[in-house]
Amino acid sequence: MFSMGLEEWKPTAGEKYGLIWTQWCVGHLDDAQLVQYLEHCKAALESGGVIVIKENLSPLGEDDFDEEDSSVTR
């Protein structure tokens, strides 16, 4: 197994998942990368499968960009 960024992940051809759990990392993707990631997840789901995104939410009612680590809390 090797390490890669979430923005580089693509499911293995023909591999299907019943659950894709993503926790505390989509804040490091820009909007276009997030959409692409979710499209890859959708394509890799079994019928009836579930995608879970667990993230912190911005209490500001708008995106909160962190200059220190370049993450965004949506």
Residues in contact with 17: Cβ distance below 8 Å, sequence separation at least 6, in sequence order = 11, 44, 45, 46, 49
Residue bearing the bigger pLDDT, 73 or 38: 38
For residue 34, give its domain range: 17-73
Give pLDDT, residue 15: 94
> pTM here?
0.79
Decide if 3 contacts 34 (C-beta within 8 A): no
- Bridge partners of 69, per DSSP, are none
pLDDT, tens only, 23-43: 988 988 999 999 999 999 999
Please state the domain count of the chain.
1
pLDDT in tens, 46-66: 999 999 999 888 888 888 888
Question: Is residue 5 situated within a structural domain?
Answer: no
Residue 10 lies in a domain: no
**Of 48, 15, 51, the residue nearest 34 (C-alpha):** 51
CA distance 66 to 58: 11
